Amino acid sequence: QKEVEQNSGPLSVPEGAIASLNCTYSDRGSQSFFWYRQYSGKSPELIMSIYSNGDKEDGRFTAQLNKASQYVSLLIRDSQPSDSATYLCAVNMPWAGNMLTFGGGTRLMVKP
């Protein structure tokens, strides 16, 4: 079992819809969680960080964290074609110092 798991997709949604991306992690003691967006051929770009249970909203993005169930999700409202990218979930495991463990990423396609 991988330490951080994501569905590889592609997840296809129509323009204007809500895209829901999910991530599960293995270490219950993890405290810090990040979502990165990666366009093809580009480097990962931080879009959200979340540390506490519940929801955190930033513009069209909402991160949701449930530590009891060991999952973190990212919702993108009013999806745009420019949101088409791979979304990487990253977790700071408690044994890992400052190192992040990444999932394999979910490819999102927003169709006009």
Partner 1 sequence: GAGVSQSPRYKVAKRGQDVALRCDPISGHVSLFWYQQALGQGPEFLTYFQNEAQLDKSGLPSDRFFAERPEGSVSTLKIQRTQQEDSAVYLCASSLGTQGQPQHFGDGTRLSIL
Q: What residue ranges bind partner 1 (CB under 8 A)?
A: 4, 6, 8, 31-32, 34, 36, 42-46, 49, 51, 88, 90, 92, 96-105
CA angle 80, 75, 104 (to 5 degrees): 95
Nearer to partner 1, 45 or 55 (CB): 45
Shortest distance in whole angstroms from residue 16 CB to partner 1 = 28
Closest CA to 87 of 110, 111, 112: 110
Whether 14 and 76 have beta carbons less than 8 Å apart is answered as no
Nearer to partner 1, 19 or 44 (CB): 44
Nearer to partner 1, 44 or 79 (CB): 44
Shortest distance in whole angstroms from residue 4 CB to partner 1 = 8
Nearer to partner 1, 18 or 46 (CB): 46
In the numeric block, the tokens 């879009």 are attached to 47
Shortest distance in whole angstroms from residue 102 CB to partner 1 = 4
Contacts of 47 (CB under 8 A, 6+ apart): 35, 36, 37, 58, 61, 74
Shortest distance in whole angstroms from residue 75 CB to partner 1 = 19
Give the span between the Cα atoms of 69 and 83, in whole angstroms.
Answer: 27
